[in-house]
Amino acid sequence: MALLFLSEADPVDQWREALLAEMPDLDFRVWPDQIGNPLDIDVALVWLPPPGELSKFANLKAILSLGAGVDALIEDCTLPNLPLARMVDPSLTRMMADYVLAAALRHHRNLDFFEHEQRSGRWTFKFPKLVGDRTVGILGLGVLGSAAAACLRDFGFKVQGWSRSEKILDGVACFHGSTQLHSFLSNTEILICLLPLTQDTEGVLNTSLFAALPSNACLINVGRGRHLVEGDLIEALENGQLAAATLDVFETEPLPKASRLWNEPRVLVTPHVASYCDPRSAAAGVVENIRLVRAGRPPNHLADRARGY
């Protein structure tokens, strides 16, 4: 029995050290050069495996994602039909809440506007607003969305959120389902997307959604690039429906050199860095899942492939 680690984005040495600290007898193999006998591999810990790769391990029993979003795995039609677990971890959750708070504050305090005015050499006064008078709305109230909502609420923002099923969160106005989307949007001044990418949510950030926001709203997309229709965003920025955007995720990553977004005056581009899990924090949960799988039980935080997340 061996664990296969497959990720070109995550720090393999830190993961090896953290997992061995939790499970000293773990046989830790690394894709692509230290796989050994493929028949030994029973659990795979992965981020963006090349399509078809995981079907090469005949004794694989479960796939553990290094990311919270499993859209790329679910979209891979060659993925073996095995239990698939999402990453749920306090460091990942905390880092996302930090990013969302920083981005929301940047828009709230008009720093995006002042950065733009500074580049044009203009001293333009804009009267600030109290945090308690600013409404932030979060699309997606799952593990990350509900933690971000709590962090923004505790900071003093008015917070509301939207999810598929009904939710009750202390101090957060909760909306659900397509029938409540427009009420949710109608007073959202800073909109944060923390949805998973599914057939239902692809392209959700589009002209018709922007039109339902108050004019001059701001967008923070930390979900997936394909939630956003980029052309609709540029149009909404040009016609003043949106004042600014913070984008961490893109349809094509890295963002192509030719993308207009690089030079869009009111867009901040960050290279998919909003949140990662720290192996020191996440290793215990991964080891628990390895033990569950080896005991013939389903791992924690199972993704529902039919639902898409």
Return the active site residues: 224, 272
Does 17 help bind ligand NAP (rule: CB under 6 A)? Answer: no
Does 161 help bind ligand GLV (rule: CB under 6 A)? Answer: no
Per-residue binder mask for ligand NAP (CB under 6 A), 216-245, x = binder? ------xxx---------------------
> Can you list the pairs that 258-264 forms with residues at least 24 positions away whose Cβ atoms lie under 8 Å?
259/230, 260/230, 260/234, 261/230, 261/234, 264/234, 264/237
Tell me which amino acid residue 250 is: F
Tell me which amino acid residue 60 is: L
SS3 assignment, position 288? helix
For 68-99, what is the HEC assignment?
CCCHHHHHCCCCCCCCEECCCCHHHHHHHHHH
Nearer to ligand NAP, 54 or 303 (CB): 303
63, 64, 68, 247: which one contacts ligand GLV (CB under 6 A)?
68
Structure tokens of 269? 């581009």
Task: Find the shortest distance in angstroms from Cβ 278 to ligand GLV.
Answer: 12
Residue 180 Cα distances to 21, 53, 162, 165, 210, angstroms: 47, 41, 8, 11, 15
Does 196 help bind ligand NAP (rule: CB under 6 A)? Answer: yes
Give the residue nearest to ligand NAP (CB). 142
Nearer to ligand GLV, 149 or 195 (CB): 195
Does 84 help bind ligand GLV (rule: CB under 6 A)? Answer: no
Structure tokens of 53? 């790769």
Q: Could you say which of ligand NAP, ligand GLV, none residue 305 binds, taking C-beta under 5 to 8 angstroms by partner kind?
A: none
Nearer to ligand NAP, 41 or 101 (CB): 101
SS3 assignment, position 22? helix
Alpha carbon distance 240, 235 (integer Å): 9
Helix, strand, coil share of the chain (percent; to 5)? 35, 20, 45
69, 83, 140, 142: which one contacts ligand GLV (CB under 6 A)?
69
26, 64, 66, 68: which one contacts ligand NAP (CB under 6 A)?
68
Structure tokens of 34? 């230290």
Does 195 help bind ligand NAP (rule: CB under 6 A)? Answer: yes
Per-residue binder mask for ligand NAP (CB under 6 A), 137-176, x = binder? ---xxxxxx----------------xxxx-----------
Does 49 help bind ligand GLV (rule: CB under 6 A)? Answer: no
Does 185 help bind ligand NAP (rule: CB under 6 A)? Answer: no
